[in-house]
Structure formats: C-alpha cells, structure tokens
Amino acid sequence: MRFIDGKFYSILLFISNFFLLNLLWLVMCLPIITIFPATSAMYGVVRQWIIHKDPSIFRPFFHYFKENFKQSIFIEIFWVMIVFFLYVDYTIAQKLAFAQNIILPILFVLGFLLILVTAFLFPTMVHYKVTTKNLLKNTLVLGICYVPISLGICLLTLLIGLILYIFPFSILFIFSIGSYCTYFLCHIAFKKVNLAKGTETQNLIH
C-alpha cells in the first residue's frame, strides 16, 4: 500500500510539474519579446527532467532564461525577419505570374530549411553552449541529417495546435508536454552525433 501511495504521489508530482512549468512559461511570455528566452528556459527545465532526473522548475527555469537571454533575443529578431521576408516574397510572387515558377520553389526550400532549424533550435540551445553562428549551423545540420525526427516534431506541433483548437483549456499544460516530447526526440539525435566537433569540448554545457 505504501508503494502504491508513493507511486501515485510521483505521478501526481510529475503532472503538477508540467502544469507549473507551463504556467510559468505563459507568464514569462506575456511581454511577447521574451517568448524565445522563456521557451529556451522551458526546454532547459525539461532537459533537467530527462537527463538529470531533477524535478526542479523555478531555479533552472530562471537560470536558463538569464543564460540564454541575449542569444534567444537575437535569434528571435532574426527568425521574425526571415519569416517576414518569406511572407512578403510569397505575397509578391503570388501577384507575379511569370515569377511563380522561379520564386515559389525557392521560397518553399527556404521555408522548409527554416522549419528544420526551428525544430532543433531550443533543444540544441540548452544542450550545448556554442556561439549563435554555430548554433544555427548545428541545428540546420541536425535538421537535415535527422529529417524523420524533424518531421516528427512538426507533426507534434500540428497535434498541439489541433488539441488547443478542440480543447482550449489545454493551454494550461500542453506546451510543457510538447517541449518535453520535442526534447526527448531531439535527444535521440544528440546521442548519435557530437555537435562539439570542430569546437572545444569546454563549450559543452554538461
């Protein structure tokens, strides 16, 4: 009976941790500009859960939030600029019939590459301590080399969107669960490839 109670408590703690992490992430995303830093912090927490079996939430969250803040903000601005550029070019290409056969395929390729980079971006950011240039390069390499994982993350993102549409109240926990599943998938790739190749091993976080 004591074993059952202990197991039930562990499950209840695990579920409550997802809720608390998700709530913390939502609050830290309210300024909008902090979405990327808050997301990197959330991935840092689930990394602790998966690798170190550490159920802590608040201390590692704010640690990763502060540690990755500048890099996250820079990447967020860069990411928004790329998305805006693709959107504007797509809108223009739609109005220029003679350019659609040339511009649209190029935009499709660039958009697909952006998806591959985004899929691995936050897990890689919290797993390795590298420069922004190496971070973007490594995420692109990972995304291309492990397309099935990238597509799996994309499908997971679509599933999260569908669940949110059907059950709006899931916003209270769905993002933390999604980040947990995403990092779990990325960690499979991390075990197979050494992103420190060409960089000093001291750049690894741990």
Over the stretch 91-105, which tens digit does the pLDDT of each residue have?
888 887 766 778 888
Global pTM? 0.87
Contact 164, 170 (CB under 8 A): yes
Estimate the share of the chain in helix, then strand, then coil, as percent rounded to the nearest 5: 85, 0, 15
Nearest alpha carbon to residue 43 among 138, 162, 153, 199? 153
CB-CB contact of 142 with 121 (8 Å): no
115 vs 37: CA distance, rounded Å: 19
Angle at 62 between CA 37 and CA 28, to 5 degrees: 50
Contacts with 78 (C-beta within 8 Å, 6 or more apart), sequence order: none
Q: Which residues of the chain have pLDDT under 70?
A: 1-6, 98-99, 194-206
Determine contact, residues 143/150, Cβ cutoff 8 Å.
Answer: yes
Question: Which pLDDT score, from 0 to 100, does residue 68 have?
Answer: 94
Identity (one letter) of the amino acid at 15? I
When divided into structural domains, the chain yields a total of 1
Q: What is 48-87 written as a DSSP string?
A: IIIII-----HHHHHHHHHHTHHHHHHHHHHHHHHHHHHH
Helix (H, G, I), strand (E, B) or coil at 1: coil
Phi-psi region of 135 (alpha: psi -120 to 50; beta: other; left: phi over 0): alpha
Domain containing 130 equals 2-203
Closest CA to 57 of 9, 25, 97, 92: 25
22 closest CA partner among 174, 168, 159, 169: 174
